[in-house]
Amino acid sequence: MFWKLKQDENIKEAELRYNPVIITVNEFNEEAAHKFCTDMAKAQNTGQPIIPIVIDSYGGEVYSLMRMIDAINTSKIPVATIVEGKAMSCGVILASCGSKGQRYIGSNATLMVHDVSSGNWGKNAEIQSGADETKRLNEKIYEILAKNTGKEASWFHKKINKRGRADWFVTPEKAVEIGFSDIIGVPTLIVDMKVDYKFGV
């Protein structure tokens, strides 16, 4: 995604006090989540009307995803999610969290949904505890998707079950039909600088 400056011909030179913030998400880990939240906070003060979040990711850690979602939910500015290339696993969940009507997906992009993965090991009690937490996170993921698409969480479970709990790949057209995305295409953020004359008493 790009942003461009549209400048009035009456302006000879101009410099923005703050450049618009466009957030890019490629990974889901603690470092990426920290940067995401820092950028979200910065965007609240630039004067921009919307925060574009560009997603191109294979996924990652669910806890980092949850931190990013919390940042979106507490934003005072609408958020646009734009999928370029791919939004898999955590990526598709984040993509669905954009403001309604502002969730974009590139015409050649791919979404992928699957269950939360677990890499638990250790004593039996530790494995069981890890399995319980994986189940909790899995339910949470499908609840978020249900809320963002207007479907029931059970609808997603059935879709995954039909595939033997295997990865579910989704095309842009299907993404719009399901409700993961709203618009096929990648938008451009335009900063319009102009001279506005006023006269009166």
Whether 141 contacts 62, CB under 8 Å: yes
Whole-angstrom distance, CA of residue 162 vs CA of residue 165: 7
Task: Report all structural domains of the chain as residue ranges with CATH numbers, in order of start.
Answer: 20-191 (3.90.226.10)
pLDDT (0 to 100) of residue 117: 75
Whether 73 contacts 37, CB under 8 Å: no
Listed residue (104, 105, 46) closest to 76, CA to CA: 46
Token pair, residue 153, equals: 């969480």
Residue type, 24: T
Specify the residue for token string 């451009």.
188
Whether 190 contacts 125, CB under 8 Å: no
Residues classed as catalytic? 89, 114
Report the predicted TM-score, pTM, of the whole model to 2 decimal places: 0.88
Q: How many CB atoms lie within 10 A of CB 23?
A: 22
Digit-by-digit pLDDT tens for the chain (201 residues) are 777 777 778 777 777 778 899 999 999 999 999 999 999 999 999 989 999 999 999 999 999 999 999 999 999 999 999 999 999 999 999 999 999 999 999 999 999 999 997 555 445 555 566 788 999 999 999 999 999 999 999 999 999 999 888 999 999 999 999 999 999 999 998 888 887 888 988
> H-helix or E-strand containing 190?
strand 188-193
